[in-house]
Amino acid sequence: MKRMRFALVLLASLAFAGTAMADEGAQRFVQSEHVKLELLLRQPASAARDAHVNRTLDTMVDYEELARRAFGQPCPASHSSCVNHWGELTEQQRTEVGTLLKKLVEKNYRKNLIKTLDYEVTYRGQKEVGGDAKIRTEAKSKLKPRDPAVQVDYVVKPEGAGYRVVDIVTEGSSLTKNYYDQFHKMLTTAGQGYPHIVKKLNDKIAKVE
């Protein structure tokens, strides 16, 4: 969960290298959303500011798609024996875990995104992978210049005339894959199952102040 939290902290200011696509609209989207969030987070803390941050994140992140991928629809590419647990959930359960995952992301942003204001972000282009676009950025701390730059991939999915973020890969570690690994273990461990996932998500949400 620590790596999961770290990815959430960096989501608004970090992202995969490779051959750039002719149309770099996905990278422009990530840059544009980052500028919006940075401007908001430089304002004095207030309930109104936090609400505005959440509205911006709503347009930036596809929480429903993130939840589907976290439960194996589609399965992580590296899992040859992956189970589509999303297909096993009822509509009510899908709504419940989707709401909880969204709440967890938002609360982590409200607490931690301000920390990324001290990072200098360099965008490294985008690459098409399986219908998604991966945008690489490197973020380097201005306060600790000797620390190595952090690499995070934004996984962006085209939606209508725009884009939405559906995954974040921090130093090679996918947020949705990490969720999938944890959820799969809970769903296949005796005495745990779906109620255990709900409890764990609620516990994490409660710990974020």
Query: Which pLDDT value is given to residue 111?
Result: 67
Instruction: Summarize pLDDT for 9-23 with one digit per residue, the tens.
Output: 454 343 333 333 335
Both tokens of 144, joined, read 């600790």
Which amino acid, residue 5?
R
Which alpha helices (DSSP H) does the chain contain, by range? 2-10, 25-41, 47-60, 63-70, 91-112, 175-187, 194-207
- Measured between alpha carbons, how far is 11 from 167 in angstroms, rounded to an integer? 9
Query: Which pLDDT value is given to residue 24?
Result: 82
Domains and CATH numbers, the chain: 2-207 (3.10.450.710)
Query: Which pLDDT value is given to residue 2?
Result: 46
How far, CA to CA in Å, does 49 sit from each of 135, 144, 168? Answer: 27, 28, 24
Query: Which pLDDT value is given to residue 23?
Result: 55
Q: Mark the ranges of the chain whose per-residue pLDDT is less than 70.
A: 1-23, 108-113, 209
Backbone CA torsion sign across 47, 49, 50, 52: positive
- Measured between alpha carbons, how far is 132 from 168 in angstroms, rounded to an integer? 12
How buried is residue 83: exposed, middle or buried, by Cβ count under 10 Å (0-12/13-18/19+)? middle
* pTM summary value: 0.82
Query: Which pLDDT value is given to residue 20?
Result: 38
Query: Which pLDDT value is given to residue 114?
Result: 75
- Measured between alpha carbons, how far is 66 from 168 in angstroms, rounded to an integer? 10
Query: Which pLDDT value is given to residue 155?
Result: 94
- Measured between alpha carbons, how far is 5 from 185 in angstroms, rounded to an integer? 19
Omega within 30 of 0 (cis) for the link into 74: yes
Report which DSSP code applies to 88.
Answer: G
Residue 31 CA, chain-centre distance (Å), reads 15
Both tokens of 130, joined, read 């399986």
